[in-house]
Amino acid sequence: MEFRERKRWLFFGLPFTFTVYTVKEDMITVNTGFLNKEENDCYMYKVQDVTLKTSLIERMFGLGTIVCHTGDVTSPILLIQHIKNAKAMKQFILEQSEEDRRRRRTLNTLDIGAVEVDDIE
């Protein structure tokens, strides 16, 4: 399954921007720019948490913004802004990221700021 959405203007939800989001089963790709194009990829297994934000204007035009918190170096917070079908895409990203982590057998660790035993002395 693949989602392909274009960033839209907030006013009337018209797709007149040069940003295209492609969400596949293993990767999220963000293509931006018209003259100077930039392509940013993030592997799905690096996505740690996903948030869906919808402002009043976005709800009026059926849009939403997805915030992906990732372990990626180039984009630790990946924004997928002003898109249609945001709720379905968010659910897809959550399920696929969990499936990719299981398939790759990756371990997610957090630094909780614990003091090492050697530092106590």
- Does the pLDDT value for residue 117 go beyond 90? no
Check residue 11 and give its pLDDT: 82
Check residue 10 and give its pLDDT: 86
Check residue 89 and give its pLDDT: 95
**CA-wise closest residue to 40 among 73, 89, 4, 81:** 73
Residue 64 to residue 56: CA distance in whole angstroms: 10
Q: Kindly report the average pLDDT of the chain as a whole number.
A: 88
Check residue 38 and give its pLDDT: 95
**pLDDT tens digits, one per residue of 59-112:** 999 999 999 999 888 889 999 999 999 999 999 999 999 999 899 887 665 555
